[in-house]
Structure 1
Amino acid sequence: MNAELDEIVRAELVEREPCPRCGAPPGSVCRANSGVVAVDYHTGRYAKIPGLKSGPAIRIPAARGPGRAWEPGPEPDLAVGGALARAGDRIGYARVSSKGQDLAGQVRLLKKAGCVRIYVEKIGSREKIRPEYNTALADLRPADTLTVTMLDRLGRNMIELITSAQDLAERDHRLEILGGPLSGVYDPQGAGKVLFVMFAAMAEVEREFIHERTLIGLDTAAANGNHGGRPPAVDGDQLAVALRRRDANEPVTSIARHLGVGRSTLYRTLAAYDEAMAANEAPRTPPGS
């Protein structure tokens, strides 16, 4: 089946159903608010077709006259059918912000959703370039869908979320969100766009709240004497023991073994101590000399 025939077959399948959004009767294409033939069939209409409901948007064929004055079409031929070519592949994208986070859960959900390829990356929120995301975009064909598990996987702030979604729509790609308040295929028209902007703003505000609570927690811990970070490999008591044993001419390797620390770690600690002591004992130049 060639592309042109596939386009007509899909159109005839969709047109078997009336459109709940624009009121187009069976056998007619969808119409826009301006009264002309729409460019896409409205989601609520083709979602009734089992073979199409999980796929991307369906464009109205050029033969149906998108942009021209709308007129009711003929009654649908219920005998229309035949093989239906692919409505597009799902391309998955998964992202975490730090190396300590796990991508396995996102990948598992994307595979379950039927993604034929999945692009993953671990990248900080301050990085402006997302190489794997750009690769996923380059892999999308016009009928394909970019699938993410949650809205905030698509972008790290409201501007990035909205820009990415609009860019996908302009490229004739679809965006699918598996979970959250906007789960489903994103419709960039009408109320869908308003909801998307609203939830994108909510996601950014929530990230700011998390960031603020983290800073408050760190400040509280620091006020209580806990400054976080990795504990020193050699504490003060161990350093005192190491210095005493070194003064007795015991090899550093033996001291490190006794303290249960790495030899190179102990060498660095002793060198830092010696450097600090030398700096404190260095003669200071009198002012004005």
Structure 2
Amino acid sequence: MCDSPGVITNIPAEQVERHDCPKCQAPAGSPCRTAAGKVASSYHIGRFALVPALKAELTVKTPADRHPGKRWTQGAPAPQAPDVVPGAAIRLGYARTSTAGQELQSQLDALARAHCTRVFSEQVSSRVKERPELSKVLTLAREIKTAAPHQPVILTVLEMKRLARSAAELMTLSSTLQADGIQLELLSGPLQGVYDPHGAGAIVFAVLAVSAEVEREGIREKTMEGLEAAARKGNVGGRPSVMDDDKLAVARARHAKGESVTSIAKGLGVHRATLYRHLAESA
């Protein structure tokens, strides 16, 4: 399925098939395969990203002559391409906000300016243990390193807090990057730059982790101090109650006359559960 040995080709499929696939273990000379044993409709990212001219592509389709969707069979052996020249780093970007309402585009723009090959983004709190897109970017980085151990791979983020909230989480991530030989790049902050998690880089990871946690604790302390100061002045933090004494008095009078809670709540513009709770508390 691949071109003749020694012949340089510009056909994407033939360039890709000069590499083994780190995801499905398809050997050089064969298309990628699915878990069901079929010819995949597209080549796996970790494979085509090894071709310098293709690493910025979002997808590389399997040609029709490879019969995508049909039963996979191994193609004729083909000479493997030499490893990608070290120094041509592959950057994989990751962006995250805690909620869907927070602005994400500025992170995406920064990652684009950093020339990331692929960008993975999600809007999920770092308190949530399962972050699918973070798992995907780490998996892809491992696949590339498995296929080309000497290929530099960099996980790029705008700032450290996009990855985790605690020192323990960040150190766990550091251990993962160390084991897989993946570098970390921070695009902003006092330690902006690219860090190798080995040697001196491991110390930087530890400092970043502790600094991030200290910063969060400082914000929490200031918030609590502000709430306590407001309470001493008679102001209570948080959302104002939708029920006041006047509304409650009206609600009790109407309820005493036999009017339904649903009707009263609708008339006062409050939630039925809220009205039930206040009526019970004032009984």
TM-score (norm 1): 0.55
Q: Deviations over 1:182-205 (max 9, x none)?
A: 222213344443334333322222
Which residue is equivalent to 1:116? 117
Which residue is equivalent to 1:131? 132
CA contact (8 A) 2:110 2:158 kept: yes
Which residue is equivalent to 2:217? 208
Q: What are the within-5 Å matches in structure 2 for residues 17-166 of structure 1? A: 87-98=88-99, 100-140=101-141, 141-142=144-145, 143=151, 144-166=153-175
Whichever residue aligns with residue 105 of structure 1, its letter is S
Distance in 2, Cα, partners of 1:236 & 1:102: 39
CA contact (8 A) 2:183 2:197 kept: no
Does residue 208 of structure 2 align to residue 199 of structure 1? yes
Unaligned 5+ residue runs, structure 2?
1-7, 9-14, 19-51, 53-83, 146-150
Whichever residue aligns with residue 164 of structure 1, its letter is L
Distance in 2, Cα, partners of 1:273 & 1:85: 68
Does residue 259 of structure 2 align to residue 271 of structure 1? no
Moved more, 115-124 or 148-157: 115-124
| Cα gap change, 1:192 to 1:218, in 2 (>3 Å) | same
Which residue is equivalent to 1:173? 182
Q: Deviations over 1:200-255 (max 9, x none)?
A: 32222222211222222222223333332322223221122233345566777775
CA contact (8 A) 1:90 1:145 kept: yes
Partner SS for 1:176: strand
Distance in 2, Cα, partners of 1:193 & 1:269: 52
Give me the identity figure in percent. 43
Which residue is equivalent to 1:54? none
Of structures 1 and 2, the one scoring higher in RCO (CA 8 A, sep 6+) is 2
Unaligned 5+ residue runs, structure 1?
6-50, 52-82, 281-289
Whichever residue aligns with residue 160 of structure 2, its letter is L
CA contact (8 A) 1:151 1:182 kept: no
TM-score (norm 2): 0.56
Distance in 2, Cα, partners of 1:171 & 1:227: 50
| Cα gap change, 1:225 to 1:111, in 2 (>3 Å) | same
Give the aligned CA root-mean-square deviation in angstroms.
Answer: 3.7
| Cα gap change, 1:162 to 1:257, in 2 (>3 Å) | closer
Which residue is equivalent to 1:233? 242
Tell which structure's C-alpha radius of gyration is larger: 1
Partner SS for 1:225: coil
Distance in 1, Cα, partners of 2:103 & 2:233: 32
Whichever residue aligns with residue 157 of structure 1, its letter is S
| Cα gap change, 1:199 to 1:253, in 2 (>3 Å) | closer
